[in-house]
Amino acid sequence: MSEIIQIINARLVEGNSLVSRSLWIDSLAGIFVPSPDPALVKVKVVSTIDLQGRILSPGFIDLQINGAYGFDFSEDASKDAAGVSYKNRYSETRQKLIKTGTTSFLPTMTSQHAERYHQNLPFLGPSKSRNPFEGSESLGAHCEGPFFAHNRMGVHLPEAIQSSGPSSEPELVIRTYGASNLFNTTPPNSQEQESEPGKIPSHVRMITMAPERPGALSTIQQLSNKGIIMSIGHMAANYTQAAAGIKAGAKMMTHLYNQMNPHHHREPGPLGILGGTMDINPENETKVILEENDSLHHAHHDPRPTRPYFGIIADGHHVHPASIRLAHLTHPEGLVLVTDALMLLGGEDGTVDWLTRRLTKKGIKVMLEGTDIIAGSCVTIPQCINNFRKWTGASIPAVLQAVTSRPASILGMENVKGSLRDGADADFVVLSEEGVLGQSVSELVVDQVWKFGVKVFDRDLE
């Protein structure tokens, strides 16, 4: 027996449109369902909710968040034997995080020594539970580092990156994270129908590494073949080296622009691959890999090139709005908004202890104490959404795709997450548009958050 909730008068995010239609949820199964047989509606429907024209979006997915509300996912989980303190703090953070509309996320570990990965990653793997009251759901950990360019480490722990040595050979990488944290031999569960046996990621879902280090391409190829999402970043790669990372199997670039070589018109750097990973030899022959409204074109083209997804930190501090607009115009289907938030998300201005060092927050800026080195952000996904809309003029559905269906696609979970389709998890957000004095663009405000078909946040009840 199901319990069906009908939602009426909502504007639903479907692709590039906002569509007014009813939506049906099975609140016991926690999924969206087709409109039930009218003859049965009276029996099964437990409630009808009128959203009065508000926007209903899939829940937000944050692919890169290092911590929030005073907790850092890379903190020492071994302070007590069973990691009870770490578990409790992680749980509290997830409870708070879901109120921002982020119903799923990749808890992201900054560069650490091997021991810390072995201790922490088992806590950060995919949440197995479908209990709607456990807060934001982990879809697996994101290991950002330590296999980085030594001159592009940002505020990551230098000792951890240096101790990773100069190479990124598969064996070293697997040993650092721990094989059991990477690979899982249990059969796929219902959430991961698309995974084949042997391709089921364990606790780690995504890894960011620099593609130019020796062995990195081989590692990218091996791990992506095993179902781990590889992203290139914190790199000294030139255009060709970044392209090689994508060709080897990396799907994404981690926080585009930050911790990578700048664009130069004769050495385009990683930014250049937004247009595709073409082999270029301008003075001789060149392979074409881009097609564009080219149905009239007679010659045979090579297949459409791989164009990477890319994260953008739209906090107004990491990247100039015009650069965000440039990347968006160049490759709108690739852009994903990530917070790159640290424990100072939700905190006050001031200086706090952060792992082995200290961070200073000043408005939207978070810096390593006593320096002007940017250290992650303190913004939420809704803040990123509103910034992005103001700076690009992108439509509401276009912006929401960048935090819902697109990150879900990167993870290969497009049928389960980031979608309102039948059978997908009923994780969603109800948004109001509010006018802002002196500003021509409305702001989106999170009114309600639903997890597995149950309302877990209501602004009116806070």
User: Binding segment for its own copies among 191-199, 202-210, 272-280, 350-358 (CB under 8 A)?
Assistant: 272-280
Q: Which stretch binds its own copies (CB under 8 A): 75-83, 124-132, 210-218, 311-319?
A: 311-319
Catalytic choice (62, 72, 315, 340): 340
**Among 5, 319, 426, 446, which residue sits at the site for its own copies (rule: CB under 8 A)?**
319
Contacting its own copies (CB under 8 A), which of 79, 87, 175, 301?
Answer: 301
The closest alpha carbon to 75, from 110, 25, 29, belongs to 110
42 counts as binding its own copies under rule CB under 8 A:
no
438 sits near its own copies (criterion: CB under 8 A): yes
Q: Does 340 qualify as catalytic in the annotation?
A: yes
DSSP state letters, 51-111: -TT-EEEEPEEEEEE-EETTEETTS-TTSSTT-HHHHHHHHHHHHHHGGGTEEEEEEEE-S
Distance of CA 394 to the CA centre of its chain: 19
Name which of 34 and 303 has its Cβ closer to its own copies.
303
> Does 329 participate in binding its own copies (rule CB under 8 A)?
yes
Residue 448 CA to residue 291 CA, distance in Å, equals: 42
- Determine, following the binding rule CB under 8 A, whether residue 152 of this chain makes contact with its own copies: no
Quote the radius of gyration of the chain (alpha carbons, Å): 22
257 is an interface residue for its own copies by CB under 8 A: yes
Residue 445 as a binder of its own copies (CB under 8 A): the answer is no
Pick the binder of its own copies from 86, 239, 309, 452 (CB under 8 A).
Answer: 239
The reply on whether position 433 binds its own copies by CB under 8 A is: yes
39 touches its own copies by CB under 8 A: no
Q: Taking phi first (over 0 means left), then psi (-120 to 50 degrees means alpha), and beta for anything else, what does residue 128 get?
A: alpha
Structure tokens at 368: 């390593």
- Is 14 among the residues that bind its own copies (CB under 8 A)? no
- β-strands 102-109, 60-65 pairing: parallel
Residue from 122, 275, 347, 412 touching its own copies (CB under 8 A): that is 275
Distance CA(455)–CA(462), nearest Å, equals 13
Residue 314 CB, nearest approach to its own copies (Å): 9
253 binds its own copies (CB under 8 A): no
Q: Which of residues 353-382 bind its own copies (CB under 8 A)?
A: 363-364
Which residue, 263 or 421, has its beta carbon nearer to its own copies? 263
Nearest to 328 by CA among 229, 232, 401: 401
Q: Which two tokens stand for residue 326?
A: 């440039």
Residue with tokens 């009128």: 50
Does the N-terminal peptide bond of residue 146 adopt cis geometry, omega within 30 degrees of 0?
Answer: yes
Enumerate the active-site residues: 340
